[in-house]
Structure 1
Amino acid sequence: MSTAPALYPCVIRHTRRAPVRHDGPPRNSWGGGAGHHPPDLPAWLRRWAGCRANDHFTGRAPSIRAALDGFLAERGIDLEGGRVLMLAHARVLGHVFNPLTLYWCHDAEGHPRCVVAEVHNTYGGRHAYLLHTDPAGRADVDKEFYVSPFYPVDGRYHMRLPAPRERLQLSLRLDRPGSPPFTATVHGTRRPATPGALLRLSLRHPWSTLAVSAAIRFHGIRLFLRGLPVQPRQVRHDPENAT
């Protein structure tokens, strides 16, 4: 598995079957940083795109790796310096929104140990799930974090999160009692994270992360106007939400 930094221009699709049917239109986006370390960008390009430690976990660690190691240590896991493959949206023109950031964690001998799925909502909240995936990258976990205003914090996620290679193929299904599932998929193709490729994507999609958060809000308004009831937001006071 290559750990060189890469870019994954991708298409995101989601389907909601209850309480009203809604197929979200495919959204073009791109994720970056699939590598052990973020790419070392020239100074002139850093104003366009990059990754910051305060965009992840508690936002107080000196680096993303330090924040991840701290999260794992609290759960009794020590990677002993093993490599981590991270997939996230980069900060573009000063703005970032990462609905889902993934970390594929390995021990010092290169064996997979776990996957961490860090979720952000549009209210500024953060929460991370520790996943122990099977060889196909599948894992189940109870929902613990308020994401959509139309779903309460219940149900169970069924995720398929194989580590990205030449292709990125992720899927998520939320099952709730007595309700059809909500599904989401992400498909993309790897490109080397050269400064030229990053600049071209930034110029082609200069507001990519802003467009993602705007699209989420826009479709939320549409569903509200269709009569979908809003679920009360539960504010958690755990470390992941301390920003």
Structure 2
Amino acid sequence: MFPVRHSFSYSYLLTGIPVGFKGSVGGLISIDEVNDNAWLSRRAWFTIHGDDYLARGHHPDGLQGKLRDYLQSQGVDHKQFSQAYLFTAAKFLGYASNPVSIWYLYTASNELKALVLEVNNTFDERHSYFLEPSSNSLAKPSSSTTSSTRFTSKWPKDFYVSTFNDRSGCYSLSLIDPFAPVLTGTGYINTNITLSGPSNTKAMIVTLLQSTSRPLNPASMSLLEKLRFLLSWWWVGFATFPRTLQQAFILFFRKKMPWAFRPEPRRKTISRPADDTEKLIEQQFRAFLKARVEQCQEPLIVRYQGAGLIGKENASALFISRSIMDRSQPEVEILVLTPVFYSNLALYASLGEAFMSESSESQTLFLSDNSITSKLDLETSTCPNSSKFPFRQGSPARYLLTLLAYLRKSPRSVSVGGVSDFKTSQPLVSKLSELDIYVLHHASLANFKKYAWKLIRLMMIDHVAFRSNTLWELEVLTVRTIIAWLILRGTFG
């Protein structure tokens, strides 16, 4: 990493709000009000809404409910915090680029007790750190009411943020309580976050977040002041991502910084949202898994958690085999870490191979017990004879099956003695996965066609577009343009 040195600074707009407040302030900032997609009908220029923070999805109690649920997930009693404040980049007309938000948690005596550092990367992934002060932090200020309170903390890095740093290293934070003493401060921000290497002996990245002017209260601003403020700050959120790209360009091309490829997220990281294809595969996979567990001959309890889903769809599911007698036996956890798992799943002809490869190599899946594949009979294919398929020879659905089997190629090729494991006496059946067969026999014809077409499209992207949806769309556009040009040329000469 060293001796490469680089520094930059730019303006950034942070909004500080009391968590639990709902409404509009001065026509500038709206907090936890009902979302309206039409920007012309918005009550304020800047908006902060609970749907955009912590766990994905909607919470009826907004930011306060999101924070309460997060603390509960960390094993922290939310009742010990009587007040909370959030410093974040508010959306302007529905858009925001928000690298980090800081939640300040205060006790009943108005003392800063803990922080939640919510970090977003440019891949639409999110990770939150619950921070308590180090042992020598938050010393009582002197008797002067102008004294400040410093909060310091240190914790291991667990989230991929920069394309030039992997997940190794350790963060240290030092900040001044913006509302000290006892929530009477003016809100000035002075925060230092340092990333050190694995040895913790040398600082790699130092980030300073400091106020450069006095905080503004929208409720007390005149119309002229509001207009001046909007003209000065409306563009800042739109510039955050281009500024990031600019600095990345300088570091990579001019200063020759090595690139750190993005790993798949870990268990406590919120993955990117699933796309429509991944959601469809997830629905079928969830139903298949439920059926397999219920039919299992061994006593089995499985806790399944999907990835990239929002709201009720993201709730964990408990599947119990019919043969179970003791409900108190330990659960086997199947935790999908990223929606990429569903895309990869479609490429395997064997779900047993998919489970093993994705949990050990690709790390898109977590299994608390690897023997789950044998318990669910996933190690050997259970595909029926092709004569038992519910579609007659020559039907469109039959052709879809053939195309699906032809295109299928596992992400990790497996061969024994130089002979591909796909080479069997029944090529159509051998390349259909257990999930395909389940959908084939349990979904309606329309739903099966939708499933098959989605998988075929996914496999085409894997074959000709290096698994890039953007490149695929560009290729499709190019082909359509060429066809249109040929038609026009043939028509008009």
Bigger CA drift: 210-219 or 140-149? 210-219
Q: Which residue of 1 aligns with 2:449?
A: none
Q: Is the 8 A contact 2:50 2:58 kept in 1?
A: yes
**Is residue 203 from structure 1 mapped to residue 231 from structure 2 by the alignment?**
yes
Matching residue within 168, 172, 175 for 1:158: 172
Cα distance, 1:91 vs. partner?
A: 0.3
Describe the SS at the equivalent of 1:160. strand
Which of 12, 16, 32 is equivalent to 1:33? 16
Q: Which residue number corresponds to residue 118 of structure 1? A: 118
1:190 has 2:219 as partner: no
Is 1:232 equivalent to 2:261 in the alignment? yes
Instruction: Give the superposition deviation at 1:240.
Output: 4.6
Separation of aligned partners in 2, 1:20 and 1:38: 46
Structure-2 separation of matches of 1:193 and 1:18: 45
After superposing the two structures, state which structure 1 stretch, 44-53 or 77-86, moved more.
44-53
TM-score of the superposition, structure 1-length normalised?
0.83
The one of the two structures with greater contact order (alpha-carbon pairs below 8 A, sep at least 6) is: 1
Cα deviation for residue 168 of structure 1 reads 1.1
Change (3 A) 1:107 1:38: same
Give me the whole-angstrom Cα distance separating, in 1, the residues matched to 2:16 and 2:42: 15
CA distance, structure 1, for counterparts of residue 129 and residue 75 of structure 2 = 14
Counterpart contact for 1:51–1:90, Cα < 8 Å: yes
Matches within 5 A, 1:75-224: 75-80=74-79, 82-133=82-133, 134-135=137-138, 136-164=150-178, 165-166=185-186, 167-177=188-198, 180-188=203-211, 189-194=214-219, 196=223, 200-224=228-252
Paired residues in the alignment total 226
Tell me the distance in 2 between the aligned counterparts of 1:222 and 1:47. Answer: 37
Q: Is the 8 A contact 2:159 2:269 kept in 1?
A: no
Q: Counterparts of 1:19 and 1:198 in 2: how far apart (Å)?
A: 45
CA offset at residue 216 of structure 1?
1.0
| Structure 1 pair 46–27 and aligned structure 2 pair: CA distance change class (3 A) | farther
8 Å Cα contact 1:116/1:129 also seen in 2:
yes
Query: C-alpha displacement at 1:18, in angstroms?
Result: 3.2
Partner of 2:469: none
* RMSD (Å), alpha carbons: 2.4
- Cα deviation, 1:217-239, whole Å, max 9, x if unaligned, reads 11011111122111010121546
Q: For 1:128, what is the secondary structure of its paired residue? A: strand
Gaps of 5+ in 1: 1-16
Structure 2 segments unaligned to the other structure (5+ residues): 31-40, 139-149, 179-184, 274-493
Distance 1:33 1:71 in 2: 20
Letter in 2 for 1:236: P
Task: Measure, in 2, the Cα distance between the counterparts of 1:140 and 1:210.
Answer: 32
Q: Give the distance between the partners of 2:227 and 2:108, measured in 1 at CA.
A: 34
**Which residue of the other structure, out of 24, 49, 54, is the alignment partner of 2:51?**
54
Q: Which has the larger radius of gyration?
A: 2
Percent of aligned pairs with the same amino acid: 22
Change in Cα spacing, 1:198 to 1:234, as seen in structure 2 (3 Å) is farther
Does structure 1 retain, via aligned residues, the 8 Å contact 2:24–2:44?
no
Normalized per residue, the structure richer in helix is: 2
